[in-house]
Structure 1
Amino acid sequence: MTNRKSELETLRADLKARLARYEAHQRREDGALEKDFEEQATQTQNDEVVDSLETETRDELSQIEHALERIEHGLGDSCESCGEPIDPRRLQVLPYTTLCVDCAGD
């Protein structure tokens, strides 16, 4: 469990750093939009991609925070839906999962 907790904490730190980069991009810390219309169009498309990545990152970060909270309460290895143990192989692949394979498939 400690190894999983440490892996989740590392993932959390990485995601927070990634979010900071996305937020900096959205605040245009690297400069305003170009004056050239075609370049503005490209930058706007990039903004949409960054928005999508930011949303995905926030969702993953939320799942990691939830998994860490469950670990702190001694529930990290059990399915939060049915209460059965989560297969350790599943936890290796998805360390932030809180559901067993059966419940995740429902």
Structure 2
Amino acid sequence: MAMQDRKALLENMRTELRERVQRYKDHQQRINGALDKDLEEQATQALNDEVVDRLEDEATLELLQIDRALARIEEQVGDHCEECGDRIAPNRLKALPYTTCCTDCASI
């Protein structure tokens, strides 16, 4: 995958993740309404909130990884492992575009 194609893919992923994180935040702030008055429904909503919190955390972590990968692309080192300096395999970059480590270093 060409560096510019990877950069465009990462920018699209970042936009989608930012929108998703905003939806999670909206959910947490109950923009769509307060908790239901039924206690059983409140319990279900509370469990859903925990799931949404975890999803937001994962999306935020992925955003950080994407930002790091984009910064490395700007520095002209986006296809080199940040640990050992070797080139990251194209198949790895295709499967995980925001990776900054080669397979060997990632498995350590």
Query: What TM-score comes out, normalization by structure 2 length?
Result: 0.98
Q: Which of 26, 29, 33 is equivalent to 1:27?
A: 29
Secondary structure in 2 matching 1:82: coil
Specify the alignment match of 2:90 in structure 1: 88
Specify the alignment match of 1:14 in structure 2: 16
The runs of at least 4 consecutive aligned structure 1 residues that moved more than 3 Å come to none
Q: C-alpha separation between the residues in 1 aligned to 2:81 and 2:100?
A: 6
Secondary structure in 2 matching 1:64: helix
Specify the alignment match of 1:36 in structure 2: 38
Q: C-alpha separation between the residues in 1 aligned to 2:50 and 2:101?
A: 31
Q: C-alpha separation between the residues in 2 aligned to 1:24 and 1:105?
A: 37
Give the unaligned 5+ runs of structure 1: none
1:14 partner letter = E
Specify the alignment match of 2:74 in structure 1: 72
Q: C-alpha separation between the residues in 2 aligned to 1:85 and 1:50?
A: 36
2:29 partner letter = R
Query: What TM-score comes out, normalization by structure 1 length?
Result: 0.99
Q: Which of 81, 92, 99 is equivalent to 2:101?
A: 99
Specify the alignment match of 2:7 in structure 1: 5
Q: C-alpha separation between the residues in 2 aligned to 1:48 and 1:101?
A: 33
Q: C-alpha separation between the residues in 2 aligned to 1:10 and 1:101?
A: 24
Q: C-alpha separation between the residues in 2 aligned to 1:100 and 1:9?
A: 21
* Pairwise CA distance, 1:58: 0.2
What's the RMSD between the two structures over aligned residues? 0.3
Give the unaligned 5+ runs of structure 2: none
> Percent of counterpart pairs with the same letter?
58
